[in-house]
Every structure is written in structure tokens, then in C-alpha cells.
């Protein structure tokens, strides 16, 4: 048994007659000291305190939006808070590794939250393989995108999917690996950097619900499915 289960406050479990806003505040109050302890253990965490001030400010603001739907779906599970803690720890580690140019972009968009509604925004959408064969082909076409006046580019689909039935590539089996036929994660990072430099942020949208498609195509072992796929 996870040692954290022994530390749970019994009042924190169960979903009957709960007020989501109150539960979000109470749960974050319980989780935040634990998350702060994890952050202090991350490499370089004490070198730039302002970086983490921004992280925890956003956590306080957006935690209810994360917590409330998850509470409705999984709040009856005895280990719900442990999985929630793991999500927050993963977010903190991701923030620690986030490159400075992306942090600056985060701050700019936070200062102008309606940036995507601007009349100057013009997006393009394409299937990578059909339009340009691979990610290198997309990079080679950046000048053409600029001539068209595009300000962001939505690429479909990018990530590794099971062979065979895979919902057109959207039954993703790994968001940490690209489709090998399109290139590598390093190629994707280079493309994203070039698009940002050209004023065209890359967009892609995860499809977590398509884990069911992964199950049908054998990407999930039906004998031992993860808790979120049961």
C-alpha cells in the first residue's frame, strides 16, 4: 500500500453531499504543503524563487477547474487524492523543465488572455504526412506559411499510435513519442522553436478519451488495465 494512504484524512475521501468549491479549497490546503516539499527537492528550485511564485499563483487560480471534474469522476476511489497529488507533482516537474522562452510566452498570454480571439489571428490546419511527408517538410514550408499570414499552425496527428485500428492516428499510445514516420521528439521541438520565432506557435490537441480506441487496438492490456481505463 502506498504510504501516503496511511496519511489521508478520512474526511477527505468520498463525494456524497460535497460542495465542490469548499472541497477544492480544503483539498488544495492539504496537498499544497506536500507539493511545496516536492518542489524544494527539485534541482535548482531555490535558485529562482520567482519562477515558483508564478507556478503556485496559477495553481491557486486554476485548481478548482482541475479538481471539480476529477472529483465527480473519481472522487469515490480511496486513492483519488494520491492520483491528484501525482498530477500536481508532474505539473511541477514539467514547469521546472519548461524552457525560458515558453515561460515568457506563458506570461504574455496570461497578461492578454483573449489573445486567441484577436482579429489578427489566422490559423492553419494540416495533416503532417499528407501535406509535407514529415516534420522536416513542415519546417521547410514555414516561409510559405508566413506569406499566407498564418499566426498559428495546428498539426494533426503527431504522436505514436498503435498499428492498425487507431482512429486515424488519434488513438494515441504515447504523448512522449512522435509517430516514427514523421520524425523524432527533437524534430518536433526544433519545429516548434522555428514556428515561435516566425510568430506562429504550434498547436496540437490531446485526445485522452481515445484511450478506449487504444484498448480496442491492443495498446492497453485488458487483463491489467490502468485505473483510469477501468
Whether residue 1 is predicted with pLDDT greater than 50 in this model: the reply is no
pLDDT tens figures, 83-96: 999 999 999 999 99
Whether residue 216 is predicted with pLDDT greater than 70 in this model: the reply is no
Nearest alpha-carbon partner for 103 in 55, 45, 49: 55
- Residue 157 grid cell: 496527428
pLDDT tens figures, 198-211: 988 766 554 544 54
pLDDT tens figures, 25-47: 999 999 999 999 999 888 877 77
Which CATH topology does 116-220 take?
Answer: Transcription Regulator spoIIAA (3.30.750)
Query: How large is the average pLDDT for residues 85-112?
Result: 91
- Residue 149 grid cell: 499570414
Cα dihedral 163, 169, 171, 174 in deg (nearest 10): 80
Query: How large is the average pLDDT for residues 102-108?
Result: 89
Query: How large is the average pLDDT for residues 117-125?
Result: 90
What's the gap between Cα 137 and its chain centre?
26
CA distance 11 to 31: 14
Residues of the chain with pLDDT > 90: what percent?
45
Whether residue 218 is predicted with pLDDT greater than 70 in this model: the reply is no
Q: What is the pTM of this model?
A: 0.72
pLDDT tens figures, 159-198: 888 888 888 888 888 888 999 999 999 999 999 999 989 9
Laid out side by side, the sheet with 123-127 consists of 123-127, 152-156, 202-203
Taking 3-state DSSP, the helix, strand and coil percentages for the chain, each rounded to the nearest 5, stand at 60, 10, 35
Is residue 172 within 8 A of residue 129, CB to CB? The reply is no
Whether residue 214 is predicted with pLDDT greater than 50 in this model: the reply is no
CA angle, 109 as apex, 40 and 116 as ends, to 5°? 140
User: With b meaning 16 or more CB within 10 Å and e meaning fewer, what string describes 208-219?
Assistant: eebbebbbbbeb
Whether residue 109 is predicted with pLDDT greater than 70 in this model: the reply is yes
Is residue 26 within 8 A of residue 12, CB to CB? The reply is yes
Q: How much is the pLDDT for 55?
A: 93
Amino acid at each position: 500500500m502506498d504510504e501516503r494512504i496511511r496519511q489521508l484524512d478520512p474526511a477527505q475521501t468520498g463525494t456524497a453531499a460535497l460542495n465542490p468549491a469548499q472541497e477544492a479549497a480544503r483539498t488544495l490546503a492539504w496537498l499544497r504543503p506536500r507539493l511545496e516539499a516536492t518542489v524544494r527537492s527539485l534541482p535548482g528550485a531555490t535558485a529562482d524563487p520567482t519562477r515558483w511564485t508564478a507556478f503556485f499563483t496559477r495553481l491557486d487560480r486554476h485548481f478548482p477547474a482541475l479538481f471539480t471534474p476529477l472529483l465527480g469522476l473519481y472522487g469515490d476511489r480511496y486513492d483519488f487524492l494520491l492520483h491528484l497529488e501525482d498530477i500536481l507533482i508532474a505539473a511541477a516537474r514539467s514547469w521546472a523543465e519548461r524552457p525560458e522562452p515558453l515561460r515568457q510566452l506563458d506570461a504574455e498570454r496570461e497578461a492578454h488572455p483573449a489573445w486567441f480571439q484577436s482579429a489578427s489571428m489566422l490559423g492553419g490546419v494540416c495533416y503532417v504526412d499528407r501535406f509535407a511527408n514529415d516534420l522536416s517538410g513542415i519546417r521547410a514550408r514555414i516561409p510559405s506559411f508566413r506569406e499566407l499570414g498564418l499566426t498559428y499552425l495546428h498539426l494533426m496527428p503527431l504522436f505514436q499510435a498503435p498499428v492498425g485500428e487507431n482512429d486515424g492516428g488519434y488513438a494515441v499510445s504515447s504523448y512522449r513519442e512522435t509517430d516514427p514516420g514523421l520524425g523524432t521528439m527533437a524534430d518536433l521541438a526544433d519545429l516548434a522553436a522555428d514556428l515561435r520565432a516566425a510568430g506562429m506557435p504550434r498547436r496540437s490537441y490531446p485526445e485522452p478519451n481515445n484511450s478506449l480506441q487504444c484498448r480496442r487496438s491492443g495498446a492497453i492490456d485488458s487483463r491489467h488495465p490502468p485505473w483510469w481505463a477501468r
